[in-house]
Amino acid sequence: MKKRIAILGSTGSIGTQSLEVILHNPDKFEVEVLTANNNVNLLIEQAKKVQPNAVVIANKQKYKQVADALSNEPVKVYAGADAINQVVQMESVDLVLTAMVGYSGLIPTYHAVKAGKNIALANKETLVVAGEIITKIAHEKKVEILPVDSEHSAIFQCLAGEFINPVEKIYITCSGGPFRGKTENELRNVTVNDALAHPNWEMGNKITIDSATLMNKGFEVIEAHWLFGLAPSKIDVIVHPESIVHSLVQFEDGSMKAQLGLPDMKLPIQYAIGFPYRIKNNYQRFNFLDYPTLHFEPPNTKIFRNLALAYETLDFGGNKPCILNAANEVVVDAFLKKKIGFLQMSETIEKALNNVAFIEKPSLDDLIETNAEARRVTKLLIED
Ligand code: MN3
């Protein structure tokens, strides 16, 4: 029985690598649905190659272009955000791999979980914004949320077979990004290109900036809180520049388990979609002689404020992490467009967190409103 997969965000970095993994294992997986935001050409190329049941282009203005190009293929073509919310519920879908960028992942994931679909989660913002709501429905519907994020995949792998043993602490490793060790003054004038040059991982622009500011790590702390049901005090971040140890779990006897491997997203992708099976492959193997020394150091949350802000919003709860995410998406976009400097990103986020009304028990609608309001407020702060 092949697992039939819907890839949301198939033209992005995780989407294309997921497709690679799936095409390597045609006996195990089948692509049922592909969705993309704007990248029409790649979506068409992918659809011709893998012949999914359906594709969705989120940007409705590009519907005709996709439909015309695929008119001779047995592929259904839809457009718009609502169509994405529909296709994830299709009976023929076994697993939904969520690889869209940012907040846009939330509502489709919500619909997929409600429809009882297992999730391979590559969109951490879903849990940052609405972790409580999503994990509650997932529990009710007996839906598995399988992490694609490499750190969470590592923790998930360390926990395999340990379900009766409480976790004392987890350590999420962090490469430190391109600006590890830099002073505040040095950071004042770094450029977009400097920030996009990640030392170890090849990723999309948004997450690469998030890695440089450590917001990505902050989001991962929140993601881990919801995925593994751990109090924030049990979640630690440790900087590990080589990105070989992907994270660690410490049990109540003090024993620690770690998961190691070369930094290649195809490994966590394949663990998530193949779970509970490990799939044989011929990817490059880790060689100790290439890495005779591995380094670890504490993160600097005074300079990289975003990580501290993420812990604060997690303690606060309610709609605070949603505000954090919305403000972050706006400032990252402004930084990429060279409207603000590197350090202004966390300064602006901090102001936004204090300028949007707090809701202690937000509904999904409250979060949708909070997201819109936080974006509005953050844009105003940037224009000031
Ligand atoms: Mn990660």
| Domain boundaries defined on the chain | 3-143, 165-263+299-383
The reply to whether the predicted model has a pTM over 0.85 is yes
Q: What is the pLDDT of residue 198?
A: 80
Q: Which residue has the tokens 């630690």?
A: 236
Calculate how far, in angstroms, residue 71's C-alpha sits from the geometric centre of ligand 1: 38
121-124 LR contacts (CB < 8 Å, sep 24+): 121/145, 121/146, 121/147, 121/148, 121/149, 121/227, 121/272, 122/9, 122/14, 122/18, 122/97, 122/98, 122/148, 122/149, 122/269, 123/8, 123/9, 123/98, 123/99, 124/149, 124/219, 124/220, 124/222, 124/223
CA distance 195 to 178: 6
The rounded Å distance from CA 211 to ligand 1 centre is: 9
Give the integer Cα–Cα distance in Å for 201 and 346. 23
CA of 76 to the centre of ligand 1 (A): 33
* Ligand 1 centroid, distance to 58 Cα (angstroms): 25
Q: What gap in Å lies between CA 206 and CA 208, rounded to an integer?
A: 5
pLDDT of residue 201: 76
Cα(254) to ligand 1 centroid in Å equals 25
Write out residues in the chain with pLDDT < 70, as ranges: none
**What secondary structure does DSSP assign to 317-340, as a single string?**
-TTHHHHHHHHHHHHHHHHHTTSS
Cα–ligand 1 centroid distance for 126 (angstroms) = 14
CA of 75 to the centre of ligand 1 (A): 33
Cα angle vertex 28, ends 24, 32, to 5°?
90
Q: Could you tell me the distance, in angstroms and rounded to a whole number, from the CA of residue 317 to the centre of ligand 1? A: 22
366 CA → ligand 1 middle, Å: 28
- Centre of ligand 1 from the C-alpha of residue 323, in Å: 21
Cα 208 to middle of ligand 1, angstroms: 10
210 and 332 Cβ atoms separated by less than 8 Å: yes
Rounded Cα distance between 334 and 341, Å, is: 9
CA of 152 to the centre of ligand 1 (A): 7
- Ligand 1 centroid to Cα of residue 154, in Å, is 10
CATH, domain range 165-263+299-383:
1.10.1740.10
Structure confidence by residue, pLDDT tens digits, 90-117 = 999 999 999 999 999 999 999 999 999 9
Determine the CATH number of domain 3-143.
3.40.50.720
Ion ligand 1: residues, CB within 5 A, are: 149-151
Residue 204's pLDDT is: 83
Digit-coded pLDDT (tens) for 139-183: 999 999 999 999 999 999 999 999 899 999 999 999 999 999 999
Ligand 1 centroid–CA 149 distance in Å is 5
- Please give the distance, rounded to the nearest whole angstrom, from the Cα atom of residue 150 to the centre of ligand 1: 5
Residue 189 Cα to ligand 1 midpoint, Å, equals 26
Q: What is the pLDDT, as a whole number, of residue 167?
A: 98
Separation between Cα atoms, residue 44 and residue 167, nearest integer Å: 45
- CA of 59 from ligand 1 middle (Å) equals 28
CA pair distance 299, 307, nearest whole angstrom: 9
Distance 333 CA to ligand 1 centre (A): 20
- Residue closest to 244 by CA, chosen among 200, 214, 206: 200
